[in-house]
Structure 1
Amino acid sequence: MASWIPVEAISDFSLQNLPYGIFSTANSDPRVGVAIGEYVLDLKVLATEGIFEVPGLEIQTLRQPTLNAYAALGKNVHSGVRQRLQKLLESDTQSAHVLRDNQRLREKALVPLNNVQMHLPMSIGDYTDFFVGLHHAVTCAGLVKPGGTIETLCPCFYNLPVAYNGRASSVVVSDTPLHRPNGQFPVDGKLVSGPCRKLDFEVEFACFVGRGNELGEPIDVNSAEDHIFGFVLMNDWSARDIQMYEATLMGPFNGKSFCTTVSPWIVPLEALEPFRVAPKETPRELPDYLMQKQEKSAYNIPIRATLGANNQRYRVADCNTNNVIFSFAQMIAHHTRGGCPLRAGDLIATGTLSGPNRENAGCLLEQTRGGTDPYEMIAEDSAAGNVRRAYLEDNDIITFTAQAMSSRGNVGFGSCAGKILSAP
């Protein structure tokens, strides 16, 4: 699909994508937009101008400072809006003239990306982080208990998607700096309290819930995708020393609650259809409520993690969203199995998406064997020299990017980045 708006071949935001975000400019409040090429299409403007005639669409939801109300309208409405936008933006449709040939409307509705500030796209009520990355689980089993296996670490890993409930209040949008957390942890057999010494990143993929469910009403695995609004990249920042000391008894708490970063653009489910694949490995035993008819329930999307330090960029890891043992539909079905209600804006993540090799490991815990073997990161500028890290240092910037390519156009997420500041 070609658009009358110029879209560079390397752009994340082709007509196949059309991701949603919340943006503002110097003279405006946050509002709903869609990315196309080097522009943001202001949906508040289009809604006010009466551009949309989509069954079930409540126009006021496109005038809100978050996407929650619009996401809750459901899959059919979102699909109708997407089709209308594609018709408006395609170069050879009868609808293209509505925006392309109306200079006043075009200049009002199209805002250059470099003139906007992006905001957290949804108000997040709850955040759940799953643990469905096969390679990550196997490697961590050996690190937590040398010689251990995933069965000894978590006997149910292959039979259900394991998760913990995270802290929604510390989820931030890309480019929001974070402070190194303080906490308690042992050093040389002595308990200390102070700044984390083993700060880490985790490459993850996450979905935002659109339509929720009522208390006590589980979501069927084969209709669970209807409850997904779209997807983002996610960095589940982790304080490994704090985490390891506190998590044995009750699971993650302060080691995980200080910051979680998400990319600013929510990519619709429909945009990822060309990239469907089967998960890397099938669970061993599944009850009926997790038996999904859709075999291609994962996505083949490469994610690259880079380090910014000393005014240089270094390649850290190359991961993929297909390194999972359970799908998002199975996560949602299991999450609601006991009657837990999900709500629009809830964030659900995969856990670390590591691959089989060291360069595919999605966190430093794996890459450095628990900090015992610092990892060499390759400089993008070959003349700059490489760097080695056991864990992250103050002023480091970690950035995730992802782009899937097809004949229909590229689909990307924008960057998921955060700079580490010193502990308060």
Structure 2
Amino acid sequence: MTTWLDVPADHPFGIDTLPYGVFSTRDAPQRRRVGVRIGDHVLDASAVAAIGRDAGMVGDGPDLATVWETPSLNSFLALGRPAWTIAREWLTEILTDDVHRAGVEPHLIPLDRVTVHLPIDVADYVDFYASEHHASNVGQIFRPDNAALPPNWKHLPIGYHGRAGTVVVTGTDVVRPSGQRKGPQDPAPVFGPSIRLDIEAELGYVVGGATAIGSRVSVDEAVDHIFGVVILNDWSARDIQAWEYVPLGPFLGKSFATSVSAWVTPLDALREARVSLPGQADPPVLPYLQGDAFGLDVHVEVSLNGAVVSRPEHAGMYWSPAQMLAHLTVNGASLRDGDLFGSGTISGPTVGSRGSLLELTWNGTRPLTLPDGSSRGFLEDGDTVTMTAWAPGPGGSRIGLGEVTGTIRPAVPLEA
């Protein structure tokens, strides 16, 4: 499929991608609305939808012009999968059929003239722990005298509730968190800035189609609620985490910031990237976790100060996003438009495929050497971390997931 725009065939944001985001322009910085990226332009989605509505091009379908003239994707997410499918088909049509060019072209804005914003108002944020390699590595580091995997790990997708209010868009600086920490040999805990600040390379799944409390979403129904995918960096203060996480799990060591990419890649754009899960034969999962438990062949790249330090592969994840969503709701917990859940750190069997510094440096005991000759066990102030990702698309094309980047700023000093 080709577009009438001058977009190279190998562009990661070609006609097969069409991700959604929220943007504003220099001349109207307060007017945030939904945009669709195509090549190096952003399509003002509400403006072209208004043209289509007034011309009767969208028939009796949803009023996309209204839901896209809002400062988040939440109103669009609330419409559900049938509307998402109609919207994508319509966008594809107007960007491929030359008859629409005259009406659409004035609403294409060069990427360097827009500011991108957090694409959703995050309703709830849950982070899972779906990589067997990551869970095993963390177990060996934090619990060397016990089994690497907790006894429940292969029976259910483990997760924790994060803080929705500290999910930030790519490009947002991250302030080094402070909290309590206590090393194994320390006589008592101390308070201060984290000295083991880390990253976690993940995918985030954006949810729409709210459900009622007391209802459940099955594995097979999950695709009706998973709208799309973002790249997610779950910043982690390992020293704060290690002291606080027993017995209730992560809290302050995780809640200070979670960064996501600006563009939400629709699940429909990732059809060619669906793969089978690599395991789950022994032990078999319970019936409510069975069904269309698909994986995604997404290739992630992690850079620290411009140097690639890891290339995690999402295809190796043990648990499916559909299973995570089914488990999240099996107790009757409701879904809200704008819910976000993370895959957990994506890590593989080799050092170069590990998605956190905790694993890459084995808790700081094997520091990385960067091209400038400096070394890192964990992040220092001024460090910039960038994650990019792509997936296979139709006919050998690449589906780009964009990037998520953040720079570490010093901790806020304590008041005297």
Establish whether TM, by shorter chain, passes 0.5.
yes
Instruction: Check whether the contact 1:17–1:267 (CA below 8 A) recurs between aligned residues.
Output: yes
Cα offset for 1:57?
1.1
Distance 2:360 2:59 in 1: 49
Paired amino acid for 1:305: V
Cα offset for 1:324?
1.2
Cα offset for 1:120?
0.6
SS in 2 for 1:45: helix
Q: Match for residue 391 of structure 1? A: 378
Instruction: Check whether the contact 2:17–2:400 (CA below 8 A) recurs between aligned residues.
Output: yes
Q: Match for residue 181 of structure 1? A: 177
Instruction: Check whether the contact 2:10–2:397 (CA below 8 A) recurs between aligned residues.
Output: no
Greater mean alpha carbon deviation, residues 277-286 or residues 334-343: 277-286
TM-score after normalising by structure 2: 0.93
Q: From 297, 302, 311, give the equivalent of 2:299.
A: 302
Q: From 394, 398, 402, give the equivalent of 1:414.
A: 402
Q: Match for residue 261 of structure 1? A: 259
Instruction: Check whether the contact 2:22–2:119 (CA below 8 A) recurs between aligned residues.
Output: yes
Distance 1:8 1:147 in 2: 54
Q: Match for residue 358 of structure 1? A: 351
Instruction: Check whether the contact 1:56–1:73 (CA below 8 A) recurs between aligned residues.
Output: no
Q: Match for residue 382 of structure 1? A: none
Q: Match for residue 48 of structure 1? A: 50
Distance 1:319 1:281 in 2: 18
Instruction: Check whether the contact 1:305–1:398 (CA below 8 A) recurs between aligned residues.
Output: yes
Gaps of 5+ in 2: none
Distance 1:373 1:307 in 2: 16
Distance 2:296 2:388 in 1: 15
Greater mean alpha carbon deviation, residues 273-282 or residues 33-42: 273-282
Greater mean alpha carbon deviation, residues 273-282 or residues 6-15: 6-15
1:308-364 per-residue CA deviation (whole Å, 9 max, x = no partner) reads: 1xxxx2111100111211111111111100100010100011100001111111001
Cα offset for 1:413?
1.7
Given the alignment of the two structures, is residue 404 of structure 1 paired with residue 391 of structure 2, yes or no? Answer: yes
Q: Match for residue 77 of structure 2? A: 71
With over 3 angstroms needed to count, the CA separation of the structure-2 counterparts of 1:182 and 1:10, relative to structure 1, is farther
Distance 2:60 2:288 in 1: 32
Distance 1:134 1:333 in 2: 19
Alignment length (residue pairs):
402
Cα offset for 1:30?
0.7
Instruction: Check whether the contact 1:204–1:236 (CA below 8 A) recurs between aligned residues.
Output: yes
Q: Match for residue 94 of structure 2? A: 88
Distance 2:237 2:340 in 1: 21
Greater mean alpha carbon deviation, residues 202-211 or residues 409-418: 409-418
Distance 1:240 1:81 in 2: 42
SS in 2 for 1:139: helix
Given the alignment of the two structures, is residue 18 of structure 1 paired with residue 42 of structure 2, yes or no? Answer: no
Q: Match for residue 101 of structure 1? A: 102
Distance 1:211 1:37 in 2: 29
Distance 2:384 2:6 in 1: 31
Distance 1:327 1:5 in 2: 36
Question: What is the root-mean-square deviation of aligned Cα atoms in Å?
Answer: 1.5
Q: From 321, 326, 337, give the equivalent of 1:333.
A: 326
With over 3 angstroms needed to count, the CA separation of the structure-2 counterparts of 1:55 and 1:224, relative to structure 1, is farther
With over 3 angstroms needed to count, the CA separation of the structure-2 counterparts of 1:73 and 1:374, relative to structure 1, is same
1:130-180 per-residue CA deviation (whole Å, 9 max, x = no partner) reads: 0111100111111112153234xx211001101000000000000000100
SS in 1 for 2:359: helix
Q: Match for residue 323 of structure 1? A: 316
Q: Match for residue 128 of structure 1? A: 126
Instruction: Check whether the contact 1:171–1:259 (CA below 8 A) recurs between aligned residues.
Output: yes
Distance 1:198 1:369 in 2: 12
Instruction: Check whether the contact 2:310–2:352 (CA below 8 A) recurs between aligned residues.
Output: yes
Cα offset for 1:9?
4.6
Paired amino acid for 2:376: R
Paired amino acid for 2:340: L
With over 3 angstroms needed to count, the CA separation of the structure-2 counterparts of 1:214 and 1:56, relative to structure 1, is farther
Instruction: Check whether the contact 2:229–2:267 (CA below 8 A) recurs between aligned residues.
Output: yes
Instruction: Check whether the contact 2:227–2:267 (CA below 8 A) recurs between aligned residues.
Output: yes
Paired amino acid for 1:401: T
Gaps of 5+ in 1: 380-384
Cα offset for 1:42?
0.5
Greater mean alpha carbon deviation, residues 365-374 or residues 172-181: 365-374
Question: Pairwise mapping of residues 210-229 of structure 1 onto structure 2 (< 5 A)?
Answer: 210-229=208-227
Q: Match for residue 142 of structure 1? A: 140
Cα offset for 1:62?
1.5
Paired amino acid for 1:64: T
SS in 2 for 1:150: coil
SS in 2 for 1:169: helix
Paired amino acid for 1:267: T
Instruction: Check whether the contact 2:297–2:392 (CA below 8 A) recurs between aligned residues.
Output: no
Distance 1:362 1:9 in 2: 30
Paired amino acid for 1:391: F
Greater mean alpha carbon deviation, residues 159-168 or residues 40-49: 40-49
Distance 1:200 1:326 in 2: 23
